[in-house]
Amino acid sequence: MTGATIDITALLQSGFRYALSLSHDKHQAEDLLQDAWLAVMQAGGPLSRTYLFSAIRSRFLNANRREKLVLLVSMDDAAELEQGDEFELDSMPLNLNEEHLHAALADLRSVEREVLFLMVVEGYTAQEVADLTARPRGTVLSLLHRGKAKIRRYVEQRKDVMP
């Protein structure tokens, strides 16, 4: 394998994980990635994560327009959210097996999963996620906060039945 092939493979794997974080469905994620990759290749666009992720996100939003919600953040919440950009995994000790992790993520709205994925798995900052998703930074932080809270609630409600 050449260096370019390894980079493309890593790019496609990252794109698949991103599509899966949006759709939470393996087959839809495969379709999103395939459609986005085809569009990137036909457009002669750059082979970058940002460009591919934008194409995937665009196709996901087009397929799910009815689910698009406007998120309002209270001024009280905004002040609390502005304190930190990074998702701190250490502050949330989780003992989830794969089944429980999938169930916890299924409880999240797709926009919350998207923000968690981009920040935790891909390592983007809140500002980078805001730029990538065309959302205000405060909205990104709110989605992160709400997603973390839902996962905490899931863990708390099931702590007696989880390993």
Confidence of residue 64 (pLDDT cuts 50, 70, 90): confident
CATH code of the domain containing 111: 1.10.10.10
pLDDT at 110: 86
pLDDT at 11: 92
Give the tens place of pLDDT for each residue, 32-41. 999 999 999 9
Range 121-127 average pLDDT: 88
| pLDDT over 70, % of the chain | 74
Confidence of residue 87 (pLDDT cuts 50, 70, 90): very low
Residue ranges making up the domain that contains 24: 3-67
Enumerate long-range contacts of 78-84, CB under 8 Å, 24 or more apart. 78/138, 78/142, 80/145, 81/138, 81/141, 81/142, 81/144, 81/145, 82/138, 82/141
| pLDDT over 90, % of the chain | 27
Are 45 and 86 in the same domain?
no
In the chain, how many domains are there? 2
Are 134 and 150 in the same domain?
yes
Res 77 pLDDT > 60:
no
Q: What is the Cα Rg of the chain in Å?
A: 17
Alpha-carbon span 33 to 16, nearest angstrom: 6
Are 108 and 142 in the same domain?
yes
Give the tens place of pLDDT for each residue, 90-121. 444 455 667 777 788 888 888 898 898 888 88
pLDDT at 89: 44
Q: Which of these three, 67, 91, 107, is where a domain ends?
A: 67
Is residue 162 included in any domain, yes or no? no
